[in-house]
Amino acid sequence: MAPPRNTWFSLALDTMRLGLEAQTVVNLRLMKFATFGPGAIGEAERMISEKMEAAMQVQAQLLTSALSGSAHLAPARTVAHYRRRVRANVRRLAK
């Protein structure tokens, strides 16, 4: 039998990973902006629209969690949502 999982510890680790992955995205974007390449302006616009879209999606997800009686899962779901978005940015920017 597997040992019980400490959900708070797991959430803390996932949050830490999110921070590290987000820092990678910041560094990759700064390198793109510093080169003044053709995609720099588009990346800045994309960055803002992605942040607004992700925030709206998380708000809807939080509301759904609260209304369905699973509000206790909202923090982990929020971190997981942002981690997926950040990892997608890392893959796209690292090309």
Task: Kindly indicate the confidence band of residue 79, based on its pLDDT and cuts at 50, 70 and 90.
Answer: very high
pLDDT of residue 37: 76
Residue 92 has pLDDT above 90, yes or no: yes
pLDDT digits (tens, 9 = 90+) for 56-77: 999 999 999 999 999 999 999 9
Nearest to 17 by CA among 94, 90, 93, 72: 90
How many H-runs (helices) and E-runs (strands) does the chain carry?
3, 0
Give CA–CA dist 71/94, Å, rounded: 35
pLDDT digits (tens, 9 = 90+) for 1-60: 666 667 889 999 999 999 999 999 999 999 999 988 778 999 999 999 999 999 999 999
